[in-house]
Amino acid sequence: METQDASEGEDCPFCAIANNQTDTEILLSDDDLFCFRDMKPGATHHYLVVPRTHIDNCKSLQADDVPLVERMVEMGRSVLEKNKVMDMNDFRMGFHLPPFSSVPHLHLHALAPASQMNFKSQLHYGPQSHWFITVDKVLSQLKTCGKVK
């Protein structure tokens, strides 16, 4: 994958958050990832899980990035649980496909409850959307093809 240190992504808003240069409230974090609320939520609970290292988008991922994506999923599940999402079977996680990424820095959307997302949110984050790919599809493609199609 093409990566760069977050300090090199000068114009990237997520790199600025990673470097504590904004007042964005970080809900969960570790040495490699951080999580915060989406500015324009598509569901009652909508969080972004972002790697501290700048990775452009899901198409930049390769087979050896499977553990990173799995850790992103773990953090997404953790933030949903921490925020008392009642039905942990009613959520959606995934990535926007380029060129539909609003920020060119890899970020996993964790949304719940998926069953209550409105029509517009379904267009943006639906499993049948041309703009969005579920994390399950990303992991499957990385494991079988070594890249996201």
What phi and psi, each to the nearest 5 degrees, are found at residue 11?
-95, 5
**How much helix, strand and coil, in percent to the nearest 5, is found in the chain?**
35, 20, 40
In angstroms, how far is the first alpha carbon of the chain from the final one? 14
Q: What positions carry a catalytic annotation?
A: 107
- Could you tell me where the DSSP H helices lie in the chain? 13-18, 66-82, 119-125, 135-145
